[in-house]
Amino acid sequence: MIRIGTRESQLALWQANLAKSELEKLGYQAEIIGISSTGDEVLDRPLHQIGGFGLFTKTLDNAMLRGEIDIAVHSLKDVPTILHEKIAQAAVLKRANISDVLVLKTNTDFLKNQENAIIATGSLRRKAQWLHKYPKHTITELRGNVNTRLQKLIDNDWNGAIFAAAGLERIELLPKNHLMLDWMISAPAQGTIMATALKADAEILEICAQINHKDTEIAVAVERQFMKTLEGGCTAPIGGNAKITGDTIYFKGILIAINGSEKVEVEKSVPLSKWHSLGKICAEEVLNNGGRKLMESIKAEMSK
């Protein structure tokens, strides 16, 4: 029996059950073990103030190191680019929708008129890109699982709230009243489910390799390499999307000031065979074109 560890939110359980069903299709038996994390329990402070990147994964890492679970299933965008020394990426599943989506309170009139509006999000990346496009708007903090955040939108006098489209679509909670934000560059690895296992557990690693989706693995590796080279986590306003078309891989990345006032973008394509260094090359281009100074100012603001 393969023991699958997961957070206990509806979305996290959905993702873990998808991995479970993929393993069961191959003839393996698996069970779900729900584990609560600090990130799920502390909802009254911004994510970057209570641990930031890796907050949702540490509890599952510890359960694995104690031998309580065999694999852990995560939203890959929540996973640090450097894993615990005893833990390895075992598989990534085929990617879902990478887009961010604005769930609307009523209508989009506030966008057309460029009037004052209140938009909710707990993501600095979303905040920064929104303020770059709509500098007159106000961003308010939004934390909690998907269900909690949707309820907060209902309960508060906001114009809308930003979510990852994949999460809402997976658990069939995407309201009809929404707007896909095709212009917003999503988080590295957004829309991707990842399984980790102990490096020493050769049998589990071999089993998980059978549910790995190679194109997704390559795309998210480029995106995470871009983020790692910029020295940013989920608490830094960094976006990155890689896409494979035929024998070519395309990448678009962004580093943006928290208040949206400055941004540095990069866009590049290379033959698929040269994907290994694409993220690093793009990040270095951003750093050399003003990104290094911008990252310093972001870090200074974050430390206040």
Name the nearest CA neighbour of 139 among 163, 111, 120, 161.
120
Catalytic residue numbers, as ranges: 78
CA distance 79 to 81: 6
- Digit-coded pLDDT (tens) for 174-202: 999 999 999 999 999 999 999 999 999 99
* Domains of the chain (ranges, CATH numbers): 2-93+192-212 (3.40.190.10), 100-181 (3.40.190.10), 227-302 (3.30.160.40)
Rg of the chain taking only CA atoms, in angstroms: 19
- Digit-coded pLDDT (tens) for 126-142: 999 999 999 999 999 99
Residue 114 has pLDDT above 80, yes or no: no
Q: What share of the chain has pLDDT > 70, as a percent? A: 92
Distance of CA 248 to the CA centre of its chain: 24
**Is 288 in a helix, a strand, or coil?**
helix
Residue 48 has pLDDT above 50, yes or no: no
- Digit-coded pLDDT (tens) for 201-250: 999 999 999 999 999 999 999 999 999 999 866 578 999 999 999 999 99
Please state the pTM of the whole predicted model: 0.91
Name the nearest CA neighbour of 97 among 241, 279, 226, 254.
241
Q: What share of the chain has pLDDT > 90, as a percent? A: 84
- Vertex 98: Cα angle to 118 and 131 (nearest 5): 25
Where do runs of H (alpha helix) occur along the chain? 10-25, 38-41, 58-65, 109-112, 124-133, 146-155, 165-170, 202-209, 214-229, 278-286, 292-302
**Residues with Cβ within 8 Å of residue 108, at least 6 apart in sequence:** 179
